[in-house]
Amino acid sequence: MPEKPRWIHFTGIGDSEVGYISVAQGNTHVPFPIERVYWVYFTPDYIERGNHAHKQCKQILIAVSGRVEVELENALGETFTFLLDTPDHGVYIPVMHWRKIHMDQNAVLLCLASEKYFEEDYIREYEVFKGLK
């Protein structure tokens, strides 16, 4: 059975008087060593991002600001939807999950990745992804 995507809760240290800090340490709060961090922002509402899967790269996506919808499909055709709208939660995406991402224009999506950027790790054609099951 493929590993399932799941919520990751990041404890908010602090309180409403002073604000909060959340921490993502590789192999502790996150189930892999963090090799790369990137963030996505100023994405118009009508744009659909993603539309690919990764062969080796695992990721955690966190909406540090705003609202992001993440739709996932695994090789068995099972689908999962996560609405990211709070900075103390992220979604863990195992390998081989096709993703579609819709962001509010003002949203900032922080991504923690298990691998360095490597274009050959991407499957960008849906028919190829479906054919690999």
Q: How far apart are CA 24 and CA 14, in angstroms?
A: 16
Binding of residue 39 to ligand T46 (CB under 6 A): no
Binding of residue 101 to ligand T46 (CB under 6 A): yes
Binding of residue 114 to ligand T46 (CB under 6 A): no
69 DSSP assignment: E
What does the block give as tokens for 7?
């919520």
Binding of residue 34 to ligand T46 (CB under 6 A): no
Phi first, then psi: give them for residue 121, nearest 5 degrees: -80, -15
Residue 59 and residue 114 in contact, taking contact as beta carbons nearer than 8 Å: yes
CB of residue 15 vs ligand T46: minimum separation in angstroms? 31
- As to burial, measured by CB atoms within 10 angstroms (0-12 exposed, 13-18 middle, 19+ buried), residue 16 is exposed
CB of residue 130 vs ligand T46: minimum separation in angstroms? 18
Q: How far apart are CA 63 and CA 8, in angstroms?
A: 12
CB of residue 28 vs ligand T46: minimum separation in angstroms? 22
Binding of residue 72 to ligand T46 (CB under 6 A): no
Size, binding site for ligand T46 by CB under 6 A: 11
Which residues of the chain form contacts with ligand T46 (CB under 6 A)?
36, 38, 40, 49-50, 59, 61, 99, 101, 111, 117
